[in-house]
Structures are given as structure tokens and as C-alpha cells.
Amino acid sequence: MRLRFSAPLSVLFSASLSALFFALLLALFSVLSCSAAVSNGEDKPAGVRNIILLIGDGMGPAQFGLLESYARRAPNSIYQGRPTAVSQLMQQGKVLLSDTGPHDVLVTDSACSATQLAIGEASGSEMIGLNARGDSVETILQKAKRAGMRTGLVSDTRITHATPAAFAAHQPHRRFENEIAADLLTTAPDLMLSGGLRYFLPQDAANISTEQQKKISAAQLTLKSKRTDQRNLLSEAQQQGYALAFSREQLAQQQHLPVLGLFASSAMDDAIYASQNPDSIQPDLNELTRKALQLLGASEHGFFLMVEGGQIDWAGHNNDAGALLHELLRFDAAIQEVVNWAAGRDDTLVVLTADHETGGFGFSYSAHDVPAARTLPGNGMRGQAFAPNYNFAPLSLLDRLYAQKKGYYRLWADASSNGKKGLPTADSLMAEVNAALDFPFSRTQAERVLRRDPNPHFDPQTDDPAGATQPHIEDFSDFYVYREERYLNALARELASAQSVVWSTGTHTAAPVPVVISGPEPILQNFQGFTQHAKLGHQLKALIKTD
């Protein structure tokens, strides 16, 4: 009891302060109630019918900038003067900035950040659906379900991955993907569309029904399981009433909820690959989103839908600028589906945000390849040439980034297929990079990328001997934590000067992220200024009425 030792005067003072605070709170509350869209006869703001939450994983302010710069300023932009879906949403609603940080530290991961949005409370690093104390807390999706709304999760990663998991599972760590898969069926959103089949198949994956086998093989997916038990979650889902879909065609046939769509063994295809294979068996994110809106939109009592552009983050971790652009374009195409669907409606709140920034990405000016002096016709030049001291990054870079034909993951795997011990040779790497990117790449650069150093964090007592060395990173080495993927970061460093791109990390930064929020005006009034993800989640959850 802290008051016990306080002087009487300060007790009185704090008592009158609390009275004042309480009065202010009451005043604020009545203002909020008056401004509500529809009065429901109670002293609380009205809810909305539908909530659509769009999460660009790793989509910090500079990533929003890359999408807009490309769309508006690339000489050969595929947008051809059309606005991005992101900027259409911005035009309709308002934009806030939000601190994504967890309870007790500065930088967040996707599990914690999505959890904070989902439960509306501070959470801890790498937790799924738990608050900072470790308690399970009802998520916005679970609350929506309790309120009789339909619910859905869509992601281009896998359904058991941190971001979708945080809305329908409760686990102490994001790595428990088998347990997350089981939790997903316990929570039972009406619609789940993503990858991650391997967490739903029994350990002996051959022990599934003939009908399941037929559908999976029609989708050309492998029958590989990550489970360590014999639970067949596909059968369990079917017993709960779910229809199963594993391919674009099988998804198209679905006309009723609930639906479980698992379109990849693990992660779904990356955006570059997906855009080059439009007739692929696997549906792309915009199609998943369209289908989700078609099925959920028919709901009598509204719906909650979360759609994730999840591989923006992966391109960021790899420091892969061309892939980053393509992931942003894919997410924007999915957002366009939402914007089209919500057009003219006054009952739907659309919220677009990120869980954090990834990579510390930015275009930057440099001393590399400074353009030659030019003569300008303007009358202020006094006969002087136009001759900036540095290379300020020409707009043509945007087209050259767009021209990238493979993401670094796939490029590396392809370069490795001819190499020794699963690694590329300098020659195979040089050939792959030159074939896939519009930025020349030399043998010397390839040799530099393939360097290895002793791993300073290696512990011979506990660690796998393979980890005694790691790919070389020149500086900030501790921020490149995904050991073998450091090769991709090293590749990015070699291309940085030519791309006028810098990266500050292989992980996440604490940059505040934009929140674009569009919907009924009275609801928008509750969202103001610089916010925080747990608070944002709390406000969204409060819009769902359960009584």
C-alpha cells in the first residue's frame, strides 16, 4: 500500500486529482457516445458491422515510400497514373503513426506485434496470443466470433506463422507451429487461407483418407508432415464442418463457410514467382482476399477479416530490394480487392498497418557513379552546369528493381544446385545474379559474397559444428542473426551502391509504422495522432459488441 506512508496533504491532493481525472473521463466518455455512428441506446460508442485488418509484415514508412515512389514515379510504372490501393485508402480515411514496441523492450517481432493488435494488451517478445504476464487473452477474432460475426484469416506465408497465428492461437512461443495448428481448429475461424499443410498432416502422412490424398495430389503438394503425432488435422477440420481446398481450382469451388485452404506445404510462393506464373495451381494473395470477401461478406452479422502481406518482411530480412518491391505490389493488389469491396459501404472499417519495419531499408545518395554535369535552360543557372556532387538515385532505378526476375531465396537455391556442398560457386552465383537482376555483378563480387568467418557466438558444447563459421558480413554483424541467410545480405551489400539502396539490419527496426484507417467518420474520430499497437488493438476490439 503506497498511500500508507504519504503525508495527509498529498493524500488529499491525489484524491482531488483522481476526482478531476474521473470527471474528465466522464466528460470524454459522453463526447464519445454522442459522436457514435448509431446510438445503440447504451453509453458506449456504436460498433461497425465489418472490420478488415490488413497487415503488411515489415512494411515500415520507407516501404510505404518504395511502393508509392514506384507507382507514381517509375518511368514504366505498371500503375500508369492509377493510384495505389494504399493511397486510395489514405485518401478515404486518415493516417496515424504507431509505436509497435512490446511491453518491456524497444523492438518487436511479428508474433508479439500481431498479438498486441489482436488482444489489445501489451505482450512479450515472440509470444502468440498471450499478454506480457503470459496469460491467454481473447483475441479480436475470438471476440468477433463470440459476437456472432464471421471470421477469417488470410496470409501469403503459412497459416501457422506468427502473424495469422496471433489472432487465433495462444502459445508461449511462435515456434510451436504444430500446437498452433491445433489451436486454430479450436478457435475455428470460418475461413483460413494460406500455406502450412505440413502442420495439419499426421506424422505418417500416408495415413490420410483417399479423398484427401486425391485433392492434395491434384494440387501437386508434397505429403510431408512436420507433426510429431498421428493427429490428422485435415480430418478433424472436416469433422468440424470445414471444406478443404489445396489449389486455385478447389478454392474456386467453395461457396460456403467454413473453409480451410492450405495451398503450400510450408510458405506460399514469393511475389516475383507468383507474378511470373499467373496460371499456377496456387492462388495468389489477391484471389484469396477476393474469395474471403465473397464468402464472409454474405454474413448476416458482419465479419472480422485479417489479411497479411507476409513476405514483405522476408524480402526485408534478405535485404532484397527488388523482391521487396514485388511483395509490396502483391499486397497492394490484395488491398485493392478490399478497397473495391468496401467502396460505397458505411458499415466497414478498414485498417492497414504493419507489425514493424524490417531491414532498415532506404534509398540513399552516394558517391558511387555520380552523373555527369548537364546544361539546363533555366535563367537562374548563370552559365553554370547542373552538377550535383553526388548520385541522388535516378528514377530509372525503380524500373530496374521491378525488372528483377527472382527473389534472392530462389536465386540462391538455383545458383546452389550446381555448386559444391549445397553452395553456389563464384561462377554459378555470378551467372544467376546477372540473369536475374538488371544490375551487373562481377566474379570478384561473387567471391566476396561467398566468404566465411568464425562465428563469435559459437558454443562448441551445445552448438551444431556447422555453425562454427558463418557467412561474412562486414559490419553490424550481430544484427544478421539468420546464419546461412547472411549470404543473401552479403549479396545485397554488393548490389547496394548500384541500387542506391541501404539496409541497416538483417532483423527489424523500431521505426513507428503508418496506420491507415478508413470507415465511418464517427468511428475514425476515436483514432488520433501518435498511437501504440496495443492501444490500437484495444480500440478495434472495443468496436465489437458482444451483448
Which residues are known catalytic residues? 110
Place of cell 458491422: 49
Distance between CA atoms of 212 and 230, rounded to whole angstroms? 15
Q: Which residues contact 21 (CB under 8 A, 6 or more apart)?
A: none
Specify the residue, 306 or 450, whose C-beta has the smaller distance to Mg ion.
Answer: 306
Neighbours of 45 (CB within 10 A): 23
Draw the binding track, 265-304, toward Zn ion (x: CB under 5 A; -: no contact). Answer: ----------------------------------------
Draw the binding track, 392-421, toward Mg ion (x: CB under 5 A; -: no contact). Answer: ------------------------------
Distance between CA atoms of 151 and 342, rounded to whole angstroms? 17
Q: Which residues between 100 and 159 bind Mg ion (CB under 5 A)?
A: 110
For the chain, percent helix, then strand, then coil, each to nearest 5?
40, 15, 45
Draw the binding track, 299-318, toward Mg ion (x: CB under 5 A; -: no contact). Answer: -----------x--------
From Mg ion, Zn ion, none, interface partner of 327 (C-beta below 5 to 8 A by class): none
3-class DSSP assignment, residue 94: strand
Specify the residue, 310 or 520, whose C-beta has the smaller distance to Mg ion.
Answer: 310
Going 17 to 19 to 24 to 29, the CA torsion angle's sign is positive
Q: Which residues between 257 and 276 bind Mg ion (CB under 5 A)?
A: none
* 485 counts as binding Zn ion under rule CB under 5 A: no
Q: Which residues contact 144 (CB under 8 A, 6 or more apart)?
A: 51, 150, 151, 302, 303, 304, 544
Indicate the burial class of 42 (C-beta count within 10 angstroms; 0-12, 13-18, 19 or more).
exposed
Contact 209, 235 (CB under 8 A): yes
* 57 counts as binding Mg ion under rule CB under 5 A: yes
Torsion of Cα atoms, 278 then 281 then 282 then 287, to 10°? 60
Specify the residue, 58 or 471, whose C-beta has the smaller distance to Zn ion.
Answer: 58
Which residue from 226, 268, 221 is spatially nearest to 246, judged by alpha carbons?
221
| Sole window of 307-315, 402-410, 448-456, 489-497 interacting with Zn ion (rule: CB under 5 A) | 307-315
- The distance of closest approach from Cβ of residue 271 to Mg ion in the complex, given in angstroms and rounded to an integer, is 14
| Sole window of 160-168, 186-194, 213-221, 517-525 interacting with Mg ion (rule: CB under 5 A) | 160-168
Terminal Cα distance for the chain, rounded:
36
Distance between CA atoms of 29 and 19, rounded to whole angstroms? 15
| Sole window of 227-235, 308-316, 468-476, 509-517 interacting with Zn ion (rule: CB under 5 A) | 308-316
- The distance of closest approach from Cβ of residue 180 to Zn ion in the complex, given in angstroms and rounded to an integer, is 17
From Zn ion, Mg ion, none, interface partner of 310 (C-beta below 5 to 8 A by class): Mg ion
From Zn ion, Mg ion, none, interface partner of 183 (C-beta below 5 to 8 A by class): none
Site residue total, Zn ion (CB under 5 A): 1
Residue nearest to Mg ion (CB): 163
- The distance of closest approach from Cβ of residue 355 to Mg ion in the complex, given in angstroms and rounded to an integer, is 7
3-class DSSP assignment, residue 135: coil
- The distance of closest approach from Cβ of residue 315 to Zn ion in the complex, given in angstroms and rounded to an integer, is 10
Candidates 113, 163, 171, 254: give the one binding Mg ion (CB under 5 A).
163
Draw the binding track, 312-331, toward Zn ion (x: CB under 5 A; -: no contact). Answer: -x------------------
Binding site for Mg ion (CB under 5 A): 57, 110, 163, 310
Binding site for Zn ion (CB under 5 A): 313
